[in-house]
Structure formats: C-alpha cells, structure tokens
Chains A and B, each alone.
Chain A
Amino acid sequence: MIKRMFIFIMLALMAFIFFNLASNYTESDSLSKLGQYYVEKGPQEIGAPNLVTAVVVTYRGLDTLGEVTVLFISAAGVGLLLRRSRRKQDEQTKKSDITHKAASEIVETATELLLPMIILFGIYVFMNGHLSPGGGFQGGAIIASGTMFLLLALPESHLSRLMIAVTESLSGFSYVVVGVLGVIWAGGFLDNRFMELGTYGDLFSAGAIPLIYTFVGLKVGFELSAVLDRFRQEESGSA
C-alpha cells in the first residue's frame, strides 16, 4: 500500500514538472544570442559547413572529449565485469568444443555483400563530418553495426583483442594530442585552427576537424565492437 502511494506521488510530481515545462513552452522565432554567434561567425572561424560539427568538435570540444571518456569507461567496465567468467569459459571451451549454431545462408550472403559497404559508409560519415550530417560518433556506431553483422553471420569469427586495444588506445591518445596541439599553436584546447582551414566545403578543410573525427570514429567504432564481442563470447561460452 505504501509502495503504491509512493509510486502515485512520484507520478504526480513528474506530471507537475512536465506540465510546467510544457505550459511554459513558447516557440521562439529568433535564435538566442549564442546561436546567433555560432551561425554568423562559425563558418568563418571554423570553416565547417555543418555547424553542428563546428559546435560539437570545437566550440564544445571538451564536452566531446568527456563523452568519449564516458564511452571508454563503460567499455572498460564491460570488459572488467565479463572478465572473470571468461577464464572459466576458456576452460570449458578446452574441455568440450562448443559448436556455434551457424547463421542461415541468407544472412551470410547478405553480410558478405553489405559488410564492406557498411564499413565504407561508416568511414564516409566520419570523414565528411564537417560537411554533411554525422561525425565521429555516428560513423563509429555504423562501423560497430557492421561488426554486429559479422558476428551474427559468422559466429565462429574472432576479433583480434590486441588490434582492438591498440587502435582504440592510439586513436584516443592522438585525439588528446591534437587537442594539446591546439593549445600550442592556436587559441586553446581542441582548437582546430592550427591546421589550415582550406577551401570552405572541401573534404580536407576546416582545419583539424577531419583528423579529430577520424580518431573519434575509430575509437568509438572499435570500442563498441569490443563491447559486442565481449557480450557474444560470454553468450556463446555458456550455450
């Protein structure tokens, strides 16, 4: 009974908060002062046609570094939590060879056709982050979806732990190094202007943004792939 009451009070509070939010909402027909600044000065200062990228990578670059760190910590946490039982599982695998249930031919054939395209699209998305929608996170997630397909279609396949760890650490490290280079040669941490801005709208323009997004994309892609791989190994080991 008390539990029911508690739930009811919580719901009422939630309703109160959201009603206040919704009733005070008015559609603004002009940008805020900060938005105005980004729209007016962004293209000249950063040189990126995609303003979202200009804000995410440069104006609010530190937040992006924080997001990458959060993702890194969660991936590390998954690795740590699923580690102990993996040792047990290795012994089991040695004792009896576990046969994985093979995927259907349709899934296998589709993966063979689509996987290169998915990976390529992921790379395209993070390389063109400053020109078109998308960026490091999105590109990395698309690459990880490709890995997901691979793991689904070929359950026997093994991802190299070493390769994942090395790529992930190197790209994370390089991301911070690029940020520090911005402090040395330009206005501040993660400032993209230590490289030439180039022609507005070109693939290699907007200073260090393509570089930063490549590192972020690689890091996110390999991290999420590693998380998927960990979960799969756990699952197939106990099956």
Chain B
Amino acid sequence: MTTIPVLTLLTIVLCAGILIGGLLAVLLDSMVSAVISAGLASLFASVVYVVLAAPDVAMTEASIGSGLTTMIFLYAIRKTQNNISTDKAEDEE
C-alpha cells in the first residue's frame, strides 16, 4: 500500500471544501447564506493556491474573491430586497 503525501491529502480536503462551498452556494435558499458559502469556496481556493505554490494568485483570490466580492454581493442583495419589499408595500397600499 502506498502512502498518500500530506500535501496531496491537504489539497484533496481543500478541494472538497471548494466543492461543498460551491454546491451550498447553488442549493441554499437564503441569498445571504449562498453568498457567504461562495466566499467560503473562494477562501478554500486561495489556500489551495498557496499549497500549489502560487502565492500571488492566492493573495488576489483571498482579498477579491472572498472579501470584496462577498461584500459587494451583500450590498447588492440588501439593495434589491429593499426594493422588492418597498414595491410590495406600495402594491398593498
């Protein structure tokens, strides 16, 4: 039996994390949770980049993919949901 190197194992676990994050982002009903899990997938991806010796890409992924994009999505969701709720209120009136 061959032993699996630690780095390979780590990569597999992290990639599973990316997959789970991505699946959750698609499957979750709550928009906010979906955005957070997409950010989580990005975070896992950035760690994978570090493991695969690409720290430059990892920095970009961590700050833009999991930080700024999540934030902009959250702002956008809040904005659109506000609109929907005010529209509904106006309809009811």
Interface set of A (CB-CB < 8 Å, partner B)? 50, 52-53, 56, 125, 133-135, 137-138, 141-142, 144-145, 148, 224, 227-228, 231-232, 234-235, 238-239
Contact = CB atoms under 8 A, between A and B. Distances in A.
A227 B72 contact: yes
B79 A234 contact: yes
Contacts, number: 57
A144 B75 contact: no
Interface residues of B, number: 18
A239 B58 CA distance: 35
Nearest to B58: A133
A133 B55 contact: yes
Interface in B65-93: 67-68, 71-72, 75-76, 78-79, 82-83, 86
Given A234-B75, A235-B78, A138 B68 contact: no
A234 B82 CA distance: 11
In the A-B complex, the 10 residue pairs with the closest CB atoms? A133-B55, A141-B63, A231-B75, A138-B59, A235-B79, A52-B56, A238-B82, A133-B56, A141-B64, A235-B75
Nearest to A135: B56
B60 interface: yes
Interface in B33-77: 55-56, 58-60, 63-64, 67-68, 71-72, 75-76
A238 B59 contact: no
A193 B59 CA distance: 27
A239 B81 CA distance: 10
10 contacts: A134-B59, A138-B56, A141-B59, A144-B68, A145-B63, A224-B68, A228-B72, A228-B75, A235-B78, A239-B78
A145 B69 CA distance: 10
A150 B2 CA distance: 51
